[in-house]
Chains A and B, each alone.
Chain A
Amino acid sequence: MKSAVIVFPGSNCDRDMAVALTKVTGQKPVMVWHQDTDFEAVDFIALPGGFSYGDYLRCGAMSARSPVMTEVIKRANNGVPTFGVCNGFQVLTETGLLPGALMRNANLHFVCKDVRMSVENAESMFTNDYAAGEEITIPVAHHDGNYFADRDTLDRLEGEGHVAFKYTADINGAQRRIAGILNAKGNVLGMMPHPERMIEPALGGTDGRKMFTSIMNRLG
C-alpha cells in the first residue's frame, strides 16, 4: 500500500504518522511538502496532527488553502482514501471535505490522555478490522477537538452511519461525543484521537493498528 503524508509548516505528527504507516503496512510513505502542487500516485493520503501555521487563525484554516490541498481535494473527490488526524481533521473540515467544525475544548484546556471510544461504523474502509460497537483506547492531544455541526447535519451523520467513532465519556464538549466522522462516500475520515500513537504495547496498547490494517484489507 503506497501512502503519502502531507507536511504543512507546523505539522508535528508527520513523523509519527510515517513511522506508524511504515510499521503497520511495511512500506514507507512519501512525505509531501505543502507547496507541492502535484505528487506521485498513492493509494492513501494522510493529513497528520500538529499546529499547522501555529493554529494562529482557526485551526486548519491556513493549511486548507495550501497549494497541495487543491490536489488532495481533487484526489479525495476521485475516491482516494484520505485520512486526517487531529489537525488533519481540522484541515479536512476547513476544506469542506467533511462537514462541521472543531471548536475549542469546552473546558478551554488542552487535553492529552488516553480515551475510550466506541467504533460506531465498523464497515468503512478505515474501520473494518474493528468489531461493531467495539470499545478501544486511543490517545487524544488537542486544544480544539470540540466537534460541532448543526442538528440536521448531526442527524444525517448518525442516520447514515457516517459517525466512525464516539467517545464513551465527554472529553471536549463534542456534540453527541463525536470523535471521528466519514464523508458521504466513505473515503474521507477525520478524527481527533491519534491512532498512530497506539500501535505497540510499549506505547500503551495496539488499538490504533486496526485503522491501518483496515485500509490494507480494503486496498488488498
Chain B
Amino acid sequence: MSDVNAIKITPEIVKEHGLTVEEYQRIVTAMGREPNYTELGIYSVMWSEHCSYKSSRFHLKKLPTKAPWVICGPGENAGVIDIGDGQAAIFKMESHNHPSYIEPYQGAATGVGGILRDVFTMGARPVANMNALRFGDPDHPKTKHLLAGVVEGIGGYGNCVGVPTVGGETNFDPSYNGNILVNAMTVGIADTDKIFYCAAAGVGNPVVYVGSKTGRDGIHGATMASAEFTEDSEEKRPTVQVGDPFTEKLLIEACLELMATDAIIAIQDMGAAGLTSSSVEMASKGGVGFELNLDKVPQREANMTPYEMCLSESQERMLMVLKPGREAMAQAIFEKWELDFAVIGEITDTGKLTLTFGGEVVGDMPIASLVEDAPEYERPFEKPAPRKAATVAATDDLNKAVLDLIGGPHLCSRRWIWEQYDHTVMGDTIQRPGGDAAVVRVHGTAKALAISTDVTPRYCYADPVEGGKQAVAETWRNITAVGGLPLAITNCLNFGNPERIDIMGQFVGCLEGMGEACIALDYPIVSGNVSLYNETNGSGILPTPAIGGVGVMADSNMMATIAFKGEGQTILLIGETKDELGASLYQRDILGADPENAGAPPHVDLTVERRNGDFVRALIANGQLTTCHDLSDGGLIAALADMAIAGSVGANVTIEGDVPLHVSLFSETQARYLLAADPDTAEDIRKEAKDAGIPVAVLGETGGERLSINDGTVDISMADLAKAHSDWMPNFMAKTS
C-alpha cells in the first residue's frame, strides 16, 4: 500500500521537491538516514519558503510585536489584542497570490477560507473580511479575467459563509501582469478567557480530525507558492485547492459550539501543507510527539497514499487535541453539523512525528528537525541608493488631469467590486466600503472596530524604508480618520525572488521602515505572512508589504465619514503641504513618468503623523467632527473630489500661497486630513489646531453643483466628476476586447 516509499530518492526527485542539494544533505543529517519518499515530501513542504520563512525569519524577528494590549503576537494562527470589557480582536492577513493567478476563482475563494480558519481556530467568531488586491496593467489581456474571477471568488466564499466583506483596496500596475496579489484578511471577536492555541499537551491524549474529507487537491501547494512562475505555470492548476464555503460555515459553527465547552486542549487548522504542517506545528509548540494512523484519516478518494494524505491541501479541515473522555461529546457536535470526526492518533513522548499506514510505519521524523532545523538564510541584500527629490512639471489642463485621475483605474469608484460582496450581513457594518476605513460594531456593545488595508508600492519601490513607514502610517491615518484608535497591525509581505540582492534589499528596507513606524505610533505587528518569489520569467512585482490595521472606537456613535454633509460647511486642511510629487500618482498617471526616474517619495515624519492624527481623532471622539478624509494617492484634489462625490454636493475652494497650484493639488505629503464642519465649529477647530501648533488652513466651503478651485482655475461639474468616478470600472469590465 505504501508503494510510494519504494521509490528511490534521486537528485531529480529532490529537485522536483524544491529542495537544494545542501538542503537535502541537511535532511539526511537531521534524520541520521536517507528519508523515504513520504518523509521527503514532508520535509519539502515544512522547509519550503512558505512554511519555514527561511529567507525572511532573520529579519522578521526584528519587528516590534509588543504592547500592553497585545495578548498574542506572531507565531500563532493569528494575532490577538485586548479591546476591553473582556473581549479580544483576533486577526491576520494572508496571501493567496500564486493560486489566484493560476485559477482566480478558487485561488481567491480558498484564500478567504484559509484566513477565516486561522481566526476561528483561535476561538473567535469572524466578523469582518477585508482584502488587498493588485492586478496588472488594465490593458494586459489577462487583467479583466483575473479581476472578475478573484472578485467572484472572494464574494462566493465570504457571502456564503456569512461574514461581511467590508473593505479593502484594489490597484493596477504592470509589474503584477504575471503575478497578481490576493491578500485576504479576517477579523474576529472572542472573549479573552476563551482563546485557543495550538500547543499540544498530554501524552496519550487523542488527536482528532474534523471537517471535510481529504482528497488529492492542493498537493504541493506550499511548494508551488515558493517558486517563481514560468510560461508553464498554468499547468500547475492541479495544485490549486477547491473551496467549499458551506462546509466552512458548518465548521465555524461546530468549532465555536465545541469551544464553548472545556474539551479542547489545542486546535489548529490545516492550511498550507495540510495535515503535515498542522500536526508538526501542534507537536512542536507543545514539545511532544504525534503518532498518526493514516488509515483513520477521512478520505474523499480511493487508494490515497500516505504521501498524498500528508501533503493534500484539501480545505475546511481542522486538527484538535481533546481532553481524554470528551470524544463522544465532541463527535455528537460535529455529527449534528454533518461533518467528519475521526480520532486519528495520539500524543506521544517520543518527540517524533510517527505515521502508520496499513500496519506499517511509513514515516518517522524528529519534530524538532522539521521546524528548528529548517534552513535559515541571511541572504545578501542591497538597498537602492537614496533618490533626490524630483521636480515634477505642471500640466496645461488641470481640469482634464483631475478628471483623468478621478475617472482612472487608480482612484475610480470600486463599487463594481464591493457590490459583489455581502458587506451588510451580521447587522453591524456601520461604515461600508468606500470610506477611509470600514467600521463594524462589536456585536451587542457600544464599541466598534475600524479596519483598513493599505500600502503604496510606488513609494516602496522608490525608497523601501519610507515606503514601509508609509504603509503602516496610512492604515493608522485611515483608522484615525473615522475616529478609531489604531491598536495593531497584521502584514502580508509580497516581494519578488529573495535570492536577488535588490529584491532582498527592498524586503529589508520595507521591514526597517515598518518597524520604525510601529514603534513611533505604538502600533505593533501581531501577525503576518510572507509571500516571496512573486516573479515571472525573472521580472518581479513592486515591493508590496500590505498592512492591515485594526483600531477600536469606544463609542460607535462618534464616527466620521468622508461625505460632505450638505451645503455651507467650512472645509479645513490639517497638515502642511510640501512639494512632494515624486513617485506620486499624478507623476505616474498624468505625466507618465518612468518609475526608475520618479525621484524620492514623500517623506514620512512619524512625529507629525502622530500629532496631527491624535488631534483629529480627539475632534471626532468629542463630537466636533463627523466629516473627515485622509489625504493619500492623488493628494488634496482626490480627497476633495471623494468627499464631494460621496456627499453629492460641490465645493468652492481657494488655495493661497505661492506654491504652484499643481503641487498644492496633487502633492502626496503625508499626515494630512481634510475636514468639514459648520462654520462655527470649523472656527473652533481652526483655533484649537493653531493653539496646538498644528498647520491648519481654511480652504473654502461646500455647496453648489461644481467643484471649483481658485476662481475657476479648476472647474468641473459634479455630474461630470461623479460620472467619471463611477463609470471607469463598470465600463472597463464590460469591454469585450
Chain A contacts to B: CB under 8 angstroms = 9-10, 12-13, 15-16, 19-20, 49-51, 53-56, 109-113, 139, 141, 143, 194, 196-197, 202-204
Chain B residues whose C-beta falls within 8 Å of the C-beta of A203 in the assembled complex:
424, 427, 429-430
> Shortest distance in angstroms between A75's beta carbon and chain B's nearest beta carbon?
24
> Shortest distance in angstroms between A69's beta carbon and chain B's nearest beta carbon?
17
Known: A196-B427, A197-B427, A203-B430. A112 touches B419 (CB 8 A): yes
Task: Indicate whether B423 reaches chain A with its CB closer than 8 angstroms.
Answer: yes
Chain B residues whose C-beta falls within 8 Å of the C-beta of A56 in the assembled complex:
246
Chain B residues whose C-beta falls within 8 Å of the C-beta of A12 in the assembled complex:
160-162, 249, 425
- Contact A202–B160 (Cβ < 8 Å): no
Chain B interface category by residue count: 20 to 34
Known: A110-B159, A111-B419, A113-B419. A13 touches B249 (CB 8 A): no
- Contact A10–B250 (Cβ < 8 Å): yes
Known: A9-B337, A16-B427, A110-B155. A55 touches B419 (CB 8 A): no
Chain B contacts to A: CB under 8 angstroms = 152, 155-156, 159-162, 244-247, 249-250, 337-338, 418-427, 429-430, 432, 441, 556-557
Bound Cα distance A12, B78 (Å)? 24
Bound Cα distance A211, B3 (Å)? 65
Bound Cα distance A13, B422 (Å)? 11
- Contact A109–B245 (Cβ < 8 Å): no
Chain B residues whose C-beta falls within 8 Å of the C-beta of A9 in the assembled complex:
246, 249-250, 337-338
Given contacts A110-B152, A111-B419, 6 further A-B contacts (CB under 8 A): A12-B162, A12-B249, A20-B427, A51-B162, A194-B424, A203-B430
Instruction: Name the residue on A nearest B339 (C-beta).
Output: A9
Chain A residues whose C-beta falls within 8 Å of the C-beta of B557 in the assembled complex:
202
Chain A residues whose C-beta falls within 8 Å of the C-beta of B430 in the assembled complex:
202-203
Chain A residues whose C-beta falls within 8 Å of the C-beta of B249 in the assembled complex:
9-10, 12, 51
- Contact A53–B246 (Cβ < 8 Å): yes
Chain A residues whose C-beta falls within 8 Å of the C-beta of B426 in the assembled complex:
15-16
Chain A residues whose C-beta falls within 8 Å of the C-beta of B418 in the assembled complex:
112
Chain B residues whose C-beta falls within 8 Å of the C-beta of A143 in the assembled complex:
159
User: What are 25 inter-chain pairs, A to B, with CB distance below 8 A?
Assistant: A9-B246, A9-B337, A10-B249, A12-B160, A12-B161, A13-B162, A16-B425, A16-B427, A20-B427, A54-B160, A54-B247, A110-B152, A110-B156, A110-B422, A111-B420, A112-B159, A112-B422, A139-B424, A141-B159, A141-B424, A197-B427, A202-B430, A202-B556, A203-B430, A204-B432
Chain A residues whose C-beta falls within 8 Å of the C-beta of B245 in the assembled complex:
51, 54
> Shortest distance in angstroms between A90's beta carbon and chain B's nearest beta carbon?
14
Q: Given B162, B246, B250, B420, which contacts A109 in the complex, CB threshold below 8 Å?
A: B420
Bound Cα distance A74, B438 (Å)? 44
Chain A residues whose C-beta falls within 8 Å of the C-beta of B422 in the assembled complex:
110, 112, 141
- Contact B427–A10 (Cβ < 8 Å): no
> Shortest distance in angstroms between A33's beta carbon and chain B's nearest beta carbon?
8
Bound Cα distance A13, B429 (Å)? 14
Q: Main SS of chain A's interface residues? A: mixed
Chain A residues whose C-beta falls within 8 Å of the C-beta of B423 in the assembled complex:
112
Bound Cα distance A73, B423 (Å)? 32
- Contact A51–B427 (Cβ < 8 Å): no
Instruction: Name the residue on A nearest B125 (C-beta).
Output: A15
Bound Cα distance A19, B249 (Å)? 20
> Shortest distance in angstroms between A122's beta carbon and chain B's nearest beta carbon?
25
Bound Cα distance A192, B441 (Å)? 25
> Shortest distance in angstroms between A126's beta carbon and chain B's nearest beta carbon?
20
Chain A residues whose C-beta falls within 8 Å of the C-beta of B421 in the assembled complex:
110, 112
Bound Cα distance A12, B427 (Å)? 11
Chain A residues whose C-beta falls within 8 Å of the C-beta of B337 in the assembled complex:
9
Chain A residues whose C-beta falls within 8 Å of the C-beta of B250 in the assembled complex:
9-10
Bound Cα distance A10, B247 (Å)? 8
Bound Cα distance A50, B246 (Å)? 10
Instruction: Name the residue on B nearest A14 (C-beta).
Output: B162
Chain A residues whose C-beta falls within 8 Å of the C-beta of B425 in the assembled complex:
12-13, 16, 49, 141, 197
Chain B residues whose C-beta falls within 8 Å of the C-beta of A10 in the assembled complex:
160, 246, 249-250
Bound Cα distance A110, B153 (Å)? 11
Q: Given B152, B160, B420, B441, which contacts A112 in the complex, CB threshold below 8 Å?
A: B420
Chain B residues whose C-beta falls within 8 Å of the C-beta of A110 in the assembled complex:
152, 155-156, 159, 420-422
> Shortest distance in angstroms between A88's beta carbon and chain B's nearest beta carbon?
14
Q: Given A13, A19, A20, A51, which contacts B160 in the complex, CB threshold below 8 Å?
A: A51
> Shortest distance in angstroms between B209's beta carbon and chain A's nearest beta carbon?
20
Instruction: Name the residue on B nearest A50 (C-beta).
Output: B162
Instruction: Name the residue on A nearest B439 (C-beta).
Output: A202
Chain A residues whose C-beta falls within 8 Å of the C-beta of B432 in the assembled complex:
204
Bound Cα distance A196, B426 (Å)? 10
Chain B residues whose C-beta falls within 8 Å of the C-beta of A50 in the assembled complex:
162
- Contact A55–B424 (Cβ < 8 Å): no
Bound Cα distance A13, B155 (Å)? 16
Chain B residues whose C-beta falls within 8 Å of the C-beta of A204 in the assembled complex:
432
- Contact B244–A54 (Cβ < 8 Å): yes
Chain A residues whose C-beta falls within 8 Å of the C-beta of B338 in the assembled complex:
9
> Shortest distance in angstroms between B338's beta carbon and chain A's nearest beta carbon?
6
Chain B residues whose C-beta falls within 8 Å of the C-beta of A55 in the assembled complex:
160, 246
Instruction: Name the residue on A nearest B426 (C-beta).
Output: A16
Bound Cα distance A112, B250 (Å)? 23
> Shortest distance in angstroms between B427's beta carbon and chain A's nearest beta carbon?
4
Bound Cα distance A139, B429 (Å)? 12
Chain B residues whose C-beta falls within 8 Å of the C-beta of A141 in the assembled complex:
159, 422, 424-425
- Contact B246–A54 (Cβ < 8 Å): yes
> Shortest distance in angstroms between A146's beta carbon and chain B's nearest beta carbon?
16
Chain A residues whose C-beta falls within 8 Å of the C-beta of B247 in the assembled complex:
54
Bound Cα distance A202, B440 (Å)? 10
Chain A residues whose C-beta falls within 8 Å of the C-beta of B244 in the assembled complex:
54
Instruction: Name the residue on A nearest B244 (C-beta).
Output: A54
Instruction: Name the residue on A nearest B161 (C-beta).
Output: A12
> Shortest distance in angstroms between B99's beta carbon and chain A's nearest beta carbon?
21
Bound Cα distance A49, B424 (Å)? 12
Chain B residues whose C-beta falls within 8 Å of the C-beta of A13 in the assembled complex:
162, 425
Chain A residues whose C-beta falls within 8 Å of the C-beta of B156 in the assembled complex:
110
Bound Cα distance A193, B432 (Å)? 18
Q: Given B152, B162, B419, B441, which contacts A202 in the complex, CB threshold below 8 Å?
A: B441
Instruction: Name the residue on A nearest B337 (C-beta).
Output: A9
Bound Cα distance A1, B247 (Å)? 34
> Shortest distance in angstroms between B45's beta carbon and chain A's nearest beta carbon?
29
Instruction: Name the residue on B nearest A199 (C-beta).
Output: B427
Instruction: Name the residue on A nearest B428 (C-beta).
Output: A203
> Shortest distance in angstroms between B372's beta carbon and chain A's nearest beta carbon?
41
Chain B residues whose C-beta falls within 8 Å of the C-beta of A109 in the assembled complex:
152, 419-420
- Contact A197–B424 (Cβ < 8 Å): yes
Bound Cα distance A194, B429 (Å)? 14
Instruction: Name the residue on B nearest A198 (C-beta).
Output: B424
Instruction: Name the residue on A nearest B431 (C-beta).
Output: A202
> Shortest distance in angstroms between A40's beta carbon and chain B's nearest beta carbon?
20
Bound Cα distance A13, B159 (Å)? 11
Chain B residues whose C-beta falls within 8 Å of the C-beta of A113 in the assembled complex:
419
Bound Cα distance A20, B427 (Å)? 9
The list of the 7 closest CB pairs from A to B, nearest first, reads A12-B162, A54-B246, A51-B160, A141-B422, A16-B427, A112-B422, A110-B420
Bound Cα distance A112, B419 (Å)? 5
> Shortest distance in angstroms between B191's beta carbon and chain A's nearest beta carbon?
17
Bound Cα distance A10, B432 (Å)? 24
Chain B residues whose C-beta falls within 8 Å of the C-beta of A112 in the assembled complex:
159, 418-424
Bound Cα distance A5, B716 (Å)? 52
Instruction: Name the residue on A nearest B155 (C-beta).
Output: A110
> Shortest distance in angstroms between A24's beta carbon and chain B's nearest beta carbon?
13
Bound Cα distance A110, B424 (Å)? 13
> Shortest distance in angstroms between A195's beta carbon and chain B's nearest beta carbon?
11
Bound Cα distance A110, B105 (Å)? 14
> Shortest distance in angstroms between B233's beta carbon and chain A's nearest beta carbon?
28
Bound Cα distance A53, B152 (Å)? 19
> Shortest distance in angstroms between A200's beta carbon and chain B's nearest beta carbon?
9
Instruction: Name the residue on B nearest A17 (C-beta).
Output: B427
Bound Cα distance A7, B382 (Å)? 58
> Shortest distance in angstroms between A47's beta carbon and chain B's nearest beta carbon?
15
Instruction: Name the residue on A nearest B156 (C-beta).
Output: A110
